[in-house]
Each structure stands twice: as structure tokens, then as C-alpha cells.
Structure 1
Amino acid sequence: MASLRDRAYEELRRRILATELAPGARLVERDLAAELELSRIPLREALRLLEADGLVLLVPHKGALVAPFTPADVRDLFDVRESLEALAARLTAQRRDTAGLARLKDRLAAARAATAAGDSDGVAAANAGFHADLVDLSDNPLLSAMMRPLAARTHWLFRLTAQRDPDQQCAEHEELYAAIEAGAAEKAAELARDHVASGRETSIAQASRWSVPDVDPEAVAARRRRRVTK
């Protein structure tokens, strides 16, 4: 049975990724504890886990809020993804695991179905799942460990930039899948890098609209960098 902390974590994570709780939204402990029918102790533990995911910001003297996800955060995320997802695509193409290819193909089908239905949540989930599977199928534990902390933010990014052409994203994923299926490792790496990079400028521009008036976004980004380098 899931603990109260885990239940709170999963529910708040779901709401944030679905943008039911928007970037910058205040997370009032008293209200959330009452709504989720738990005490503040497991709620605070859940908020700390969400902070580790990069989804919540705990601001001294201000409390908790959904992380603003600043333009600097988006640039950092793309810098890492362009390099590491290209590596994941290369390794996955070299392995050409039959069961893994089936998983990727299922993600493509789910993305196409969600696109046809106009289901933006489904599109985001399928596309984020495709990228997560790509890393998992590389069969490189170190790479997976490096990418795991970015999984929630990558899913969030797909949801927050839902206005990007879903048909184009599907087409790029399908071209990448074809290269992996053919075992064309270098082409797969190039396509993966180009695919991630294609969303960079649009996403950075969108992030500038997720500002929070009383939180300095550059200070937020600097604080995150300090935490990572400690």
C-alpha cells in the first residue's frame, strides 16, 4: 500500500504535469492537506520530492509554489537532452531489440491516435513515453540514471508546449524509429539531436510567459545550478 507521502506526491505530480496546477501557482499546505485528507508532515515530504524532480520550488518566507520553469531552465534542459538523447538513439539502434522496437512502435501509435482525437494530454504522455523508452532501451544504466531526474520535466515540457505541431512531432518520431529499426546508429543519433533541437526556440519563447511576478527567474535558475554542483 502506498504511503501517505507517496499518495500526495503522485497526485500533485499528476496535477502539475497536466497543468491543472500551472507554473507559479501557490501550493498552500493547509488547503492541500485538507483536500488530500492527510497531515502536513507527509505533504511536506511529498513537496520535497517534487522539488527534487524540479516541479516545485520551496521559497524561504514564501512557501511552496509550482516551479516557474524559466527560460534558463529550458535552455539547460535542451542542452542536456540534445547530447544524451542522441547517445540513447545511437545505442538503441545498435541493439535493435525486438521487444524494445515493439514498445516504441506502440508509443508512435498512441501519439497518432491522441493527435487524431485532439487529446493534448495523450499526445504529451505518448511523446514523453517515446523519449523515456528510447533512453531505457539504450541498456546503459549510467545514461538512464543521468536522464531519470529529467523525466518529469521533459513530460512537463511536452505538455506546456502543446501548441507545437503534433503531426510534425509524430513524423519526426516515426523517422527516428525507422532509423533505429534499420540499425542506422549514426543517422538515428543525428535525427534525435535535430528533433530535440527543433523545439528549443519555441519552448524558450513559451517559457518567458510562465513568469511569476514576485519570484526572480534568474535567481531561481542560479539556485538550481548551485544545488546541482554541490
Structure 2
Amino acid sequence: MTSADEGVLESTRVADWLRDAILDGVRAPGSRLIERDLAADFGVSRVPVRDALKILEVEGLVTLRPRTWAIVREFTAADMTDLDEVRSVLEPLAFRLAAERHRRDGLDELRRTLDEETISATAGDPIASRRAAADFHEQVTVLTENRLLGDLMQGMRSKLRWGLSQHDDLAHVAAQHQALFQAISERDGDRAEELALSHIDSSRREREAHMRAAKTAASSSAVHEGSSRRL
């Protein structure tokens, strides 16, 4: 393996870790990602860290500050509206094609991700459940056997996963995925497309409720902190 290959592997490893940290909520929106600190954490030079941050910038997860640091991006309501509009076109098609074209081994993999999501939701493990929910959507795209659709969905993968992380009722999401799996397994393209549209609308409402609750909690915390200072 050449030094160039090793550099690519290092930058991919750093990007994968940072992506999970951002999408799992470990790195909060607005927080700084400082090259020298990340390089020390990973035991690598600053070059693969810089390359990893560029990957995440393309995915829309960070905003770069040249020669200083990167900022974890905060998705706005407009960002998520844009995502919903694109999802409403691409995902119903993906679920329909998955129902019509899936192979047995691909369906088995979809079942595995759904089982993992359901078990994690029941166990109260939000990170594992949300990751599995994102994997479910990715595997549906694989089942379509449509390379162009796969490329388009790949371009919004991180944003979709972030949107799925903004859900509090994990059991409800798993139940919706169960219904979608049933339609796919029965090769019912019409039903799969209909359920996909309903799922997108439900996801939007869940996300908005989650964000309202988070905003209320932050306001209450700020008021409490201010009262404590005055005391």
C-alpha cells in the first residue's frame, strides 16, 4: 500500500468517525472542529483531518473556516423543507422499485436491518435504532438496482440520516418501516409508494415536534440558569 493510499484510508476513517459523532449528536451544531485537536485525538497528521473535513463539507455537515477550524452545521427549517421535497419525489420511486425488483438476498438484508432497528427501539437505544433506520432506507435503494437513483440518494444520505435522528418515537418509526417491508416483500409497488409518502409526512411532523421540544427545553434551561445567577 502506498503512502497516498494510507492517507485516503486515514481521511476516510476520520470522516466516518466525525460523521457518526455529528449525526448521533455527540458533536452539537455550532461546535468547533479544530484540525490540530482532531489530529491529536486520532494520532494522525493534520492532512487526513483536513481531507475528512472537506468530505463532510460536501455532505453538508460542516462549514469550513480556512486555516482555523470547521463548524458543525445547524440545519435550518428551510434545509429540511428542501430535503422533504426531494424525498417526496425520490423515495416513493425507490420503494416502488424495491417492491418490484428485489432479490431474496437483498430482502433478507432489509429484514436484518429492520430487526436491528426494532430491537434497539424496544431496548431504548436511540443511537443504534436511528442508525438502523438510516440503513433501512439505504438498503431499499440497493434493492431498486437503479444506479442513477442510488447516486442521487447517496448525495442526500447524511441529510436524510440527520432528519431521521430528529425523532423521539422510535417505536413508531420502526412500525412504519415494518409496514413498508411488508409491502416490499409482497411486491406491492402501489402500496409501497403510498406508504413511503405517508412515512415522509410523518417524519416531517415528528421532526418538527422534536425540534420544538428541544427549543423549549433550551429556553427553560436558559431561564433557570439566569435565575440561579441572580440568586
Smaller-chain TM-score bracket: 0.7 to 0.9
SS at match of 2:155: helix
Q: For 1:45-99, what per-residue CA distance to the aligned partner results, in whole angstroms no more than 9, with x for missing partners?
A: 1100011111111246874111111111111111111211100011111114211
Identity %: 38
**183, 190, 201: which one aligns with 1:186:** 190
SS at match of 1:137: helix
The aligned amino acid for 1:151 is R
Contact 1:89 1:185 in 2 (8 A): yes
Unmatched 5+ stretches in structure 1? 211-230
Q: Structure 1: how far apart are the matches of 2:56 and 2:146? A: 25
Aligned length: 208
Match of 1:155 in 2: 161
**Structure 1 position 55 matched with structure 2 position 67:** no
SS at match of 2:71: strand
- Deviation of residue 170 (structure 1)? 1.5
Unmatched 5+ stretches in structure 2? 1-5, 216-231
The aligned amino acid for 2:22 is I
Q: 1:205 to 1:167 in 2, by over 3 A?
A: closer
The aligned amino acid for 2:127 is D
Higher fraction of helix: 2
SS at match of 2:156: helix
**92, 96, 103: which one aligns with 1:90:** 96
**168, 172, 179: which one aligns with 1:175:** 179
Q: For 1:8-28, what per-residue CA distance to the aligned partner results, in whole angstroms no more than 9, with x for missing partners?
A: 212212211221101111112
Q: Which one has the largest radius of gyration?
A: 2
Q: Structure 1: how far apart are the matches of 2:106 and 2:35? A: 42
Higher relative contact order (CA 8 A, sep 6+): 1
**Structure 1 position 38 matched with structure 2 position 5:** no
**Structure 1 position 120 matched with structure 2 position 126:** yes
- Give the superposed CA RMSD: 2.0
Q: For 1:113-156, what per-residue CA distance to the aligned partner results, in whole angstroms no more than 9, with x for missing partners?
A: 10111110111011111111111111100100000021122222
Q: TM-score, normalised by structure 1?
A: 0.83
Match of 1:17 in 2: 23
SS at match of 2:26: coil
